[in-house]
Amino acid sequence: MQIKIKTPAKINLTLEVLDKRPDGYHNIQSVMQMIDLYDYLTIKVENSTTEEITLSGTSDEIPYNEKNLVYKAAKLFLDRANIHDRHVDVFIEKNIPISAGLAGGSTNAAGTIYGLNCLFNNILSRQELHELCAELGSDLNVCLEGGCLLATGRGEKIEKLPFRENPVSLIKPTNMGISAKEAYTKFSRLEKKPDLDMTFKMIDSIKIGTDIRQFLHNDLEVAVFQDYQELKKIKENIPQAIMSGSGSTYFAISDNIPQLEGYWVKTGLKFIPSGVECCDEYIEVTKW
């Protein structure tokens, strides 16, 4: 039995960093929006005498072992559902860039939890799925729920916001990623931190239906921007572009942006009202 899941990327319309938590993470307030750039998971489940999880895929930039968030998601699901006699195999078709601030790993993990729950006839409730997502990482709940959301806490607390259609284009230095650890460390070292409260201005704009572009903001961009000529080049050529997450991807609310040599550019994308979901290739499963 198998299922195919599409897992969309997210962008941060706002990202404001608040205080540091006792667990080492930072509290944030962020408006996150899912977009129609997808990875695809093919999840197969077979009977087995023992629990086994195997991964493979199209990217040579990610590990296909227990270090992968998809592996951790599958393991966590099986443990919570008390299933220990299945072989779970996940094939990951990567289209979302790695270490790009687009939640590629998080959306794959959320899709794994969602897909396995479908295969096991919704053995876990929606609330339980969200609990697993919150345990695994900061962006998984957003990817599971989808659409436009306010994310608080370390990103796991979510509140649904109205969905507004918008075009979006992405640009990223080809061979450059920025880890969340680097971005947050550099933010903590800033002598003067931004204090613009753009998140709630953005929420008001979304609810009223006015142009959201004037409220796009990312505190982490302020933290890392001066250290990378590649980011400065993006801003020079696309002044309205804003960094997503911890970078290094920038986005613009536009159907098109200039092509720059040495950069990955994806145009013609759009906001979507959904999160991880089954593809049309969904294969009906029988009850275990």
Can you give the pLDDT at residue 87? 98
Checking if the pLDDT of 285 tops 90, the result is: no
pLDDT digits (tens, 9 = 90+) for 107-143: 999 999 999 999 999 999 999 999 999 999 989 999 9
Tell me what percent of the residues of the chain surpass a pLDDT of 90. Answer: 87
Checking if the pLDDT of 283 tops 60, the result is: no
Higher pLDDT, 162 or 279: 162
Can you give the pLDDT at residue 287? 41
Can you give the pLDDT at residue 22? 85
Enumerate domains of the chain plus CATH numbers.
Answer: 1-283 (3.30.230.10)
Tell me what percent of the residues of the chain surpass a pLDDT of 70. Answer: 97
Token pair for 287: 């009850």
pLDDT digits (tens, 9 = 90+) for 9-50: 999 999 999 988 888 788 999 999 999 999 999 999 999 999
Stretch 177-192: mean pLDDT: 91
**Residue 121 and residue 143: Cα distance in Å, rounded?**
21
Can you give the pLDDT at residue 288? 41
Checking if the pLDDT of 281 tops 80, the result is: no
pLDDT digits (tens, 9 = 90+) for 221-254: 999 999 999 999 999 999 999 999 999 999 999 9
Can you give the pLDDT at residue 156? 92
What average pLDDT does the chain have?
94
Stretch 173-182: mean pLDDT: 91
Can you give the pLDDT at residue 280? 66
Stretch 103-109: mean pLDDT: 97
Q: Which positions are annotated as active-site residues?
A: 10, 139
CA angle 74/80/86 to nearest 5° reads 50
Can you give the pLDDT at residue 25? 80
pLDDT digits (tens, 9 = 90+) for 195-212: 899 999 999 999 999 999
Can you give the pLDDT at residue 260? 96
What global pTM score does this model have? 0.94
Can you give the pLDDT at residue 23? 83
Q: Give the chain's largest Cα–Cα span.
A: 59
Can you give the pLDDT at residue 282? 54
